[in-house]
Amino acid sequence: MQKPTTKRLWRCIRYYLTLCLVRGQANDTIRAKRYSLKKFCVWCFAQDVFTIDEVDIELMDDYMEHLNTYRKPKDNLPICKANKYALLLNVKTFMGKMYNRGLLEKNTIDHIELPTVGRPLPKAIFTAEEVEKILEQPLFFGEKGMVDKVILETFFATGIRRVELRNLDVEDIDLKQQLVRIRKGKGDREYILPISERACEWIIFYLTKLRPQLATITSGSALFLNDKGSRFRVNALSDMASRYVRLAGFKRAGACHLFRHSTATIMLDNGADLRHVQEMLGHVNITSTQVYTFVSRSKLTEVYNKTHPSALSKGGFL
């Protein structure tokens, strides 16, 4: 890989994205970085800034001011705090890499203060009964619906991410021991999860009755195939899941991740240890799992009813 002989901003960004690709970063991660850095680059050009050595704290202060006043064209709403944080963090990381690679004599924005971002709660949490209603919807749509049914059952039984499900191969499912191997988890992690007997039965049905009709010579060992015999696109999985949420009569937003959220909160509601839920979700840091303790409702309600004076009081209104 050839290091740039110029400090031109966009040339250095392309070099940086290639470095990220060589390091094996996920396509979604690189796509997000490209979006952030392109947005920053376009803004810099409008300020007559064209090289990386012109980027300093004062310029970043102006960029933060720009992000604070920016309104999205579609709905005229401001950028959320998490989005602003990501946009600025990607610029800071990029500049740090340019310094480490010797393209900058000094990391001019190393000490930039990024905006604080709280950990947001999941936007829509579905109960077990609501998830079951969603899982019923594909049964009304013939064989295509049956394929969708198996996919949704797998999402709910495992809580895996959509890209993890997309990358599953047939041999990753141990139907006898009821285990699923995640080979390409977030950060290229590999781990093994339990999968329910119910989900295994649906997968057996899929493997014997449905997959043979979808498979082509190019399908390889991919577990879940679309109607062209290829692996699903992750966006197609989201579109499919959200369609069944609407068909179930729910106006709340929800797609593949709703099953992940529901898996975590329902397990916690039923007494699962936080560490076990962390392993189930494949979280490296338990703080990522702890967010679900704030939406695990039944345990909190039970403790509240047993301990809070207002809840223990027998007196009613008047």
Q: Which of 260, 297, 304, 308 is catalytic?
A: 260
Q: Is 276 a catalytic residue?
A: no
Catalytic residue among 133, 186, 191, 243: 186
Q: Which residues contact 148 (CB under 8 A, 6 or more apart)?
A: 138, 141, 240, 244
What is the rounded CA–CA span in Å between residue 132 and residue 301?
Answer: 23
User: Does the annotation count 292 as an active-site position?
Assistant: yes
Q: Judge whether 233 counts as a catalytic residue.
A: no
Query: Is 161 one of the catalytic residues?
Result: yes
Q: Which backbone phi and psi does 117 adopt, to 5 degrees?
A: -130, 120
Catalytic: which of 84, 161, 211, 261? Answer: 161
Per the listing, tokens 């070099």 go with: 15
Chain length of the chain: 318
What does the CA dihedral 295, 297, 302, 308 come to, rounded to 10 degrees? 60
Say which residues have a Cβ less than 8 Å from residue 241's Cβ, sequence separation at least 6: 152, 155, 254, 255, 256, 258, 259
Q: Where are the alpha helices (DSSP H) in the chain?
A: 9-22, 27-46, 57-69, 81-100, 128-136, 142-158, 162-166, 197-205, 211-214, 234-247, 256-269, 274-281, 286-290, 297-307, 309-312
- CA atoms of 269 and 256, how far apart (whole Å): 21
CA separation for the pair 51, 32 (Å, rounded): 22
189 catalytically annotated: no
Burial (CB count <10 Å: 0-12, 13-18, 19+), residue 209: exposed
The DSSP letter of residue 193 is E
Taking phi over 0 as left and psi of -120 to 50 as alpha, with beta for the rest, 124 belongs to: beta
63 given a catalytic annotation: no
Catalytic residues: 161, 186, 257, 260, 283, 292
